[in-house]
Structure 1
Amino acid sequence: MESFTGELIAVIARKDGTKEKWVVTSPEEQFTLEEIKILSILSNSVLIWK
């Protein structure tokens, strides 16, 4: 993907502190805090901002 325009809804940090991941969605998509938490657990990360 070269570019994407969306809304930043969360930042997920890895437990080892090496990287953070941005959760960006299109205007049509919506995620609950619980869904984002599950994704962060699956990626061995910790949600640090919502």
Structure 2
Amino acid sequence: MFQVETFIEKPVIKTAEKLIKEKRYFWNSEIIYANSIQLVPIFTRCKLTCGS
């Protein structure tokens, strides 16, 4: 996991183009490829540490 400094939700096209050119940003595509055997322990651990 990574610590996130800033999150930009749906940036305007000019900002998105700038971020792509700089090549030091990550994009959250929200694609999760896993089964419940893998996810349940992760979500349980996150709930315990994140307090959600």
Larger radius of gyration: 2
TM-score clears 0.5 = no
TM-score, length basis structure 2: 0.30
Larger RCO, structure (CA 8 Å, separation 6 or more) = 1
Higher helix share: 2
Judging by fraction of residues, say which structure has more strand.
Answer: 1
- Normalising by the residue count of structure 1, what TM-score does the alignment of the two structures yield? 0.31
